[in-house]
Amino acid sequence: MKNSLPKSSVFLFVLTLSFSTSWAALSSILDATPGSEDFISCIKSNSNNISVSQLTFTSANASFLPIWQAAVQNTRFLKPSTRRPSVIVTPVEETLIQTTLFCAKEHGYELRIRSGGHDYEGLSYTADVPFVMLDFTNMRSIDVDVANSTAWVQAGAVLGEVYYAISQKTDTLYFPAGVCPTVGVGGYMGGAGYGNLLRKYGTAADNVIDARFMDVNGNILDRKSMGEDLFWAIRGGGVSSFGIVLAWKLRLVPVPEKVTVFILNKTLEQGATEIFHKYQTVIPAIDRNLHIRTQVFEIYIGNTTKKTINIMFEGIYQGTTDTLLPLLDEKFPELGVTREICEEIKMIQSTLVFWGFPSSLPTEILTNRSAIAKLNNKSKSDYIRKPIPISGLKKIWKKFMENDESALLMINPFGGRMADYSETAIPYPHRAGVLLQVLKTVNFNGQASDTTPTSLRRLSWLRSLEELLTPYVSKNPREAYSNYNDLDFGVGNANYKEASVWGERYWKRDNFKRLIRIKAKVDPENFFRRPQSIPVFSSSLSDI
């Protein structure tokens, strides 16, 4: 690994390469949206910005489709049946956001807010009703304050840009967020956010210390003026249910000048089952400086037609190889990490490695949104609180053997700092007792859409895997990660019983009820809404 990564380490990168889509074919189905003139007239008459016409787009504009498409991070939504906005607004300053909010309310449009476009069900840029999309692509400034270990980051910045901006000032501070460079900051913290530093520093939202936020009336608030209830809600409860986040103030955390990374693959024939079985308990309890993510997928053995399971162990240690190796020799010798596969690099380079790039690549690539492969998949999440027994692992492996190489499990260990927080510290409740978070994915690579016979078989396989995992994952509720939103849970919200079907999976009962109470205070007319947004009920929650 000194010079290059193992071939299998780029599996996720290859897996998620997007299929090509004909812009001409998509453009042919887009006509100017009838009725959008009322919104455009409202924007122009209420804005002092002379360039507003260059920042507002309907499907009559040649730039409309490229702007919409640019941040569609899951290419399964690039199909003719996807409902697009009536209008796209790309503000460069806050007054146009206020005007957009006013005009959307005035003319009966719903509002969708897009920062990075990584939402798993495309809810920031699609809707089944007429809507305006507020795209933060032009609002992405980052102000790093090394002396105070903080950074103010506008909602339109992506994680790769944040990491790069920090690295230009210091190698000994970082922000504990995710590994995908194109995830937008605006919505990411709204769902809590996690990454390779979660065992040492918790979620990203645990490290948010202030925000600049616009409420439903267009008022711009900070932590003090919004109050602790609303500040609690927007850090993990889905910020777009309550208003519009304009910027986050982040607490930067200390990291060593060099961290140690390694990638190691194990197949069933190399004892992967027994190694993973031990991994489930050892790694959540190990030194907080160590994080080992795993990816599970099927491969063919050599040039044969026989399949096996490959488990990729991707480790990052906040320290040197000399300290890491004795730790693993004591706690997890079965993994077989050697000095030869370890590499000491800067923290920002580790983000390259975990996204499937060589560490030698210029880190500027993290700021190049078009250089990062998009996804083309359907995903689901789970939390594991008790180790899956060997017998259960074998059932899972058998299920993977039925797949057509389109499936992936990505597993992150918890424990450490995550267990220090109360379930109610922020809305994100998946804390003490969680061993692993599991992301289950099938991709639609090679398919024209997610509705071809092959794609539908893959979806069916994913749902059958979901059923197979039921005995081994959390219960009452079966927990799920709100940033990996899944409309298969349902979208009913006429009353608490309907909404609890999905709401308690994301936030658990106490947090979900608190979110509903806060929503009723700050947005009683439920303007900020979408499928699975925090609902408003006519009856009081005290009656439930």
Left if phi > 0, otherwise alpha if psi is -120 to 50, otherwise beta: which for 192?
A: left
**CA–centroid distance for 89 within its chain:** 23
From 120, 163, 484, 506, active-site residue:
484
Closest Cα to residue 158, out of 186, 138, 133, 135? 186
Provide the 10 A C-beta neighbour count for residue 53: 13
436 has which bridge partners?
Answer: 384, 413
Handedness of CA 528, 427, 178, 480 (dihedral sign): negative
Q: What whole-number distance in Å separates Cα of residue 163 and Cα of residue 149? A: 13
Decide: 266 and 314 in contact? Cβ < 8 Å: no
In 3D space, the residue among 333, 331, 328 whose CA is nearest the CA of residue 315 turns out to be: 328
Please indicate whether residue 484 is annotated as part of the active site.
yes
Tokens standing for residue 1:
């690994």
* Torsion of the alpha carbons at 391, 394, 399 and 402, rounded to the nearest 10: -140
Burial class of residue 95 (count of CB atoms within 10 Å of its CB; 0-12, 13-18, 19+): middle
Task: Give the residue carrying structure tokens 């994301």.
Answer: 506
Buried (b) or exposed (e) across 175-206, using 16+ Cβ within 10 A? bbbbbbbbbbbbbbbbbbbbbbbbbbbbbbbb
Q: 293 - beta bridge partners?
A: 314
Closest by CA position to 414, among listed 392, 384, 393, 381: 384
Distance CA 309, CA 397 (A): 7
The CA distances from residue 431 to 176, 417, 418, in Å, are: 16, 9, 5
Residues classed as catalytic: 484
